[in-house]
């Protein structure tokens, strides 16, 4: 169960009404039952139900069962698409071990707004589901131009672009000699990147242009493929 509070030896964690409903009405747990807790910062803790009520309850942490497992220093930048596919990208990015997820507004991005709180909740659910002890931050939608203007000198960008098919190196074979981190993957919108964006990316020394193969992938497929290929070459 994901909670916001700090976790530590003997730490009492008060439950919200929703959490109490889930544990005591849906899962039918009672006082004395054991629950695994994580908050994305302190690893996983075994906690015992000390109080169980209809609208709340208290768990007490007994012992850490797993340390915090930080994923490698990889960010995923992507232009949001339709809601369900954006949700899919966030879920898969968490499962594939991205450390930060940054929705970006590009020239051809269809979606002007995202519900950052909803996407963050998806990230929590995905971490719960895949047994992760870390929850990546989903950032607010930010303009790609602005992000690139303040881009850290040491963070490499894997720029995935279908117009590079044939011309650029294939991501599958190209990363063996590259430094292990920090990195970011950049996936564009359904309309691809504009000429101006491409020129800007080409001019940045941090950018490595890569192809994901000879077919045009949907943005959600491209995100998962790029994450998997990066993990295979540089992940841990
Ligand atoms: N506008 C493009 C078109 O119709 O030709 C398609 C863009 S594609 C649906 C969305 C994003 O997925 C691209 O901006 C790119 O980041 C990534 N992508 C898709 N296929 C790719 C490939 N073969 N190599 C690298 N990136 C790819």
| Cα–Cα distance for residue pair 16/156, rounded to 1 Å | 41
- 72 Cβ below 6 A of ligand 1: no
Q: Are the C-beta atoms of residues 57 and 13 closer than 8 Å to each other? A: no
* CATH number of the 74-234 domain: 3.40.1280.10
Q: Considering the chain, tell me which residue range(s) the CATH 2.40.240.20 domain(s) occupy.
A: 12-66
214 burial (CB, 10 Å; 0-12 / 13-18 / 19+) is exposed
Mean pLDDT of 170-190: 82
DSSP 165-179: TTTSEEHHHH-TTS-
Instruction: Assign domain 12-66 to a CATH class.
Output: mainly beta
Q: Is the pLDDT of residue 1 over 60?
A: yes
Give the CA count within 13 Å in the CB-facing half-sphere of 89.
30
Residue 79 clears pLDDT 80, i.e. is over it: yes
Q: For 99-117, how does the pLDDT look when each residue is reduced to its tens digit (9 = 90+)? A: 999 999 999 987 778 899 9
CA of 110 relative to ligand 1 center, distance in Å? 15
d(C-alpha 102, C-alpha 194), whole Å: 19
User: Model-level pTM?
Assistant: 0.91
Report pLDDT digits (tens) over 124-149: 999 999 988 999 999 999 999 999 99
Q: How confident is the model at residue 21 (pLDDT cuts 50, 70, 90)?
A: very high
Q: What is the rounded average pLDDT of the residues 56-71?
A: 95
212 CA from centroid of ligand 1 (Å): 9
Ligand 1 in reach of 80 Cβ (< 6 A): no
Q: Which ipTM value was assigned to this complex?
A: 0.97
Our answer on whether the CB atom of 77 is closer than 6 Å to any ligand 1 atom is no
CATH 3.40.1280.10 positions along the chain are: 74-234
Q: What is the mean pLDDT of residues 42-57?
A: 96
List, in order, residues 6 or more apart from 203 with CB less than 8 Å away: none
């Amino acid at each position: 169960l994901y909670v916001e509070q700090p976790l530590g030896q003997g730490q009492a964690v008060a439950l919200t009404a929703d959490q109490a409903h889930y544990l005591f009405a849906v899962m039918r747990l009672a006082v004395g039952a054991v629950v695994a807790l994580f908050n994305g910062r302190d690893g996983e803790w075994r906690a015992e139900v000390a109080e169980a009520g209809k609208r709340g309850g208290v768990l007490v942490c007994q012992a850490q069962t797993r340390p915090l497992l930080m994923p490698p220093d990889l960010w995923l930048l992507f232009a949001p698409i339709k809601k369900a596919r954006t949700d899919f990208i966030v879920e898969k990015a968490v499962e594939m071990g991205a450390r930060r997820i940054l929705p970006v507004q590009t020239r051809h991005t269809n979606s002007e707004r995202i519900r950052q709180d909803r996407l963050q909740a998806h990230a929590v659910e995905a971490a719960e589901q895949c047994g992760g002890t870390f929850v990546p931050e989903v950032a607010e939608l930010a303009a790609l131009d602005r992000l690139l203007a303040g881009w850290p000198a040491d963070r490499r960008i894997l720029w995935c672009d279908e117009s590079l098919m044939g011309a650029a190196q294939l991501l599958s074979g190209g990363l063996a000699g590259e430094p292990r981190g920090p990195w970011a993957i950049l996936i564009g919108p359904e309309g691809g990147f504009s000429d101006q964006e491409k020129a800007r990316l080409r001019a940045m020394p941090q950018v490595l242009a890569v192809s994901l193969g000879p077919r045009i992938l949907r943005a959600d497929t491209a995100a998962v493929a790029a994450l998997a290929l990066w993990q295979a070459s540089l992940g841990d």
